[in-house]
Structure 1
Amino acid sequence: MTGPWNADIREFVLAFADDEHLMGQQHTEWIGVAPFLEEDLAFSSIGQDELGHATTLYAIVASDGDPDRDIGAGAGVDDRRLDALAFDRDPLRWRSSHLVEAVTDDWAHALVRHWLYDDAEQLRWELVADSTLEPLAGAATRAEREEWFHRRHADGLLDVLLPTPNAGDRLRTALVDLMPLAVGLFDPVAGEVQAVASGVAAAPFDTRMSEWVDRVRNRFGVDLPTFETPTPTGRTTRSEAFGPLLSRMREVLDLDPAAIW
């Protein structure tokens, strides 16, 4: 065993994995339809990174906190166990935030969600960078390097677009639309109390929310209302957008559920 592990910590890691998985999926859906070729490529690359983070986190869950145990035996975590987590769970067993489930078929909304999510994600990884769960700390080290590029990408676009009257207005409208969903990222997930108590996380994620909201205000130059810390729900409810999103994710698998892809 490479650190503490129980059902509560499993839920804590699973929520992070689900957010990374769905955010990666949402980015991939802009391939071929982004406003210009460079953004097709950028969103594809960022989406791959997020899906890679999700795979790492699902491997921690699937191996009861010790993915290196199977790797050391020459096997690695069975892909079918990862697929079962990523595609085969009942919707009620997902722990994703509603922000990553939402449909953003407007480019301004997609870009703003990209910035909001990745800026919050930086804070989230920081909280597990020194985790007593060694595979999670290792995942944070790798992810934080990639996330620097994600934030630079989003910031570079906002630097150009926010001062432009039409583009800036669209981005700020998107921000107003998305903020009620975005604060849900800080909804305390099931197992977080135990994760903090055992050193898996340094502090509850919602303790970083006010810092994040200040960063949002400064980045977009807007006077946002005060946002209260979300009432804990355990993230056990799915939004209306979740079902269609999961169907798109399972489109190839559903062609032949018995096949091993």
Structure 2
Amino acid sequence: MTNTNNIDAKITDNKALLDLLFQMADDDFIISYRGSEWLGLAPHIEEDVAFSSISQDTMGHAAMFYQLLEGLGAGDANDLAHSRASSDRKNAILLEKVNGPGHYLVEPRYDWAFAVVRNYFYVLAKKVKIESLKNSSYLPLAEAAIKINLELYYHHLHWKTWFSQLIKAGGEARTRMEAAISIVAEDMDGVFHLGSYEKEMVGSGLILSSKELKNQWFQMIQPVIEDLQLSLPPFAMKTGNGRLGEHTKDLDDALSTLNEVYQMDPTAAW
């Protein structure tokens, strides 16, 4: 019989586990913030409510991952979310990019097509990862993945519906969506990348390899792409690799806004 305690102790000591948790947490943290910037700006009030709910769920998922990190001695969950420098963040660069030109409070000229494509592609990638994490060798992570998966079903359905309907609308809608697909593809590989410890992650049974995750993503989206008569451009990491701490000014600006209230009194009960 396998000694579960020995397995847990081995994994808990593994830098690969910490790196994976930071990736999952930081991805959800920043994409949920970008979602929150659409409040009051979505195409209609029903979408305002739905997108806000999805962003809130996603921030909750980030909190779950930060709490797992806290339990492993990585630091206070709130500090991990709010006090780390951009160079310490592990999120994919695609997720930190601004929604469009302008500022939320001053002439925001956001791109809804970009929002739909980025969120649909990311949620599908997250769904593939969560399915893998449900079988993770680290039991607390597997249990968290099971809980997250319940909400992810609706997130995926939401963005898949928007994606399909805008493409099927044809005309300007399809043109803008195809342009957004090209933009998202330029940095989509960063979402699948598992950083410096991928070999250890896979070897210890934490998660499937980035290649396998990417293959599963394509298998899931292929029927949708065929139905809509689309072709996907090659995926790349044009702007850099966020898993290695490479980030843009967009992330610095986002963190400055996100952390403004927290930094007023980090010792307060949040």
- Asked whether the two chains share a fold, i.e. TM above 0.5, the reply is yes
Match for residue 150 of structure 1 among 152, 155, 167? 155
Partner AA of 2:63 in structure 1: T
Match for residue 166 of structure 1 among 169, 172, 179? 172
Find the aligned partners of 2:68 and 2:163 in 1 and give their Cα distance: 35
Once the two structures are superposed, what CA deviation does each residue of 1:138-195 show, in whole Å capped at 9, x if it has no partner? 1111111111101111122223221112211111111111111122101222333222
Partner AA of 1:92 in structure 2: S
What is the aligned partner in structure 2 of residue 75 from structure 1? none
In structure 1, list runs of 5 or more residues that go unmatched. 67-79
Name the stretch that deviates more: 146-155 or 217-226: 217-226
Normalised by the size of structure 2, how large is the TM-score?
Answer: 0.83
More helix per residue: 2
Question: What fraction of aligned residue pairs are identical, expressed as a percent?
Answer: 28
Find the aligned partners of 1:28 and 1:35 in 2 and give their Cα distance: 14
Once the two structures are superposed, what CA deviation does each residue of 1:74-93 show, in whole Å capped at 9, x if it has no partner? xxxxxx81111001012211
Find out whether 1:81 has 2:76 as its counterpart: yes
Find the aligned partners of 1:243 and 1:90 in 2 and give their Cα distance: 8
Counterpart mapping for 1:182-221 below 5 A: 182-201=188-207, 203-213=208-218, 215-216=220-221, 218-220=223-225, 221=229
Counterpart mapping for 1:109-258 below 5 A: 109-164=114-169, 165-201=171-207, 203-213=208-218, 215-216=220-221, 218-220=223-225, 221-227=229-235, 234-257=243-266
In structure 2, list runs of 5 or more residues that go unmatched. 100-109
Shift of 1:219: 3.0
Shift of 1:46: 0.5
Once the two structures are superposed, what CA deviation does each residue of 1:69-113 show, in whole Å capped at 9, x if it has no partner? xxxxxxxxxxx8111100101221110100111112211111111
Normalised by the size of structure 1, how large is the TM-score?
Answer: 0.85
Partner AA of 2:122 in structure 1: Y
1:166/1:214 CA distance change after superposition, 3 Å: farther
| Count of equivalent residues | 247
Find out whether 1:62 has 2:70 as its counterpart: yes
What is the aligned partner in structure 1 of residue 102 from structure 2? none
Shift of 1:123: 0.7
CA RMSD after TM alignment: 2.5
Shift of 1:33: 1.1
SS where residue 91 of structure 2 aligns?
Answer: coil
SS where residue 132 of structure 1 aligns?
Answer: coil
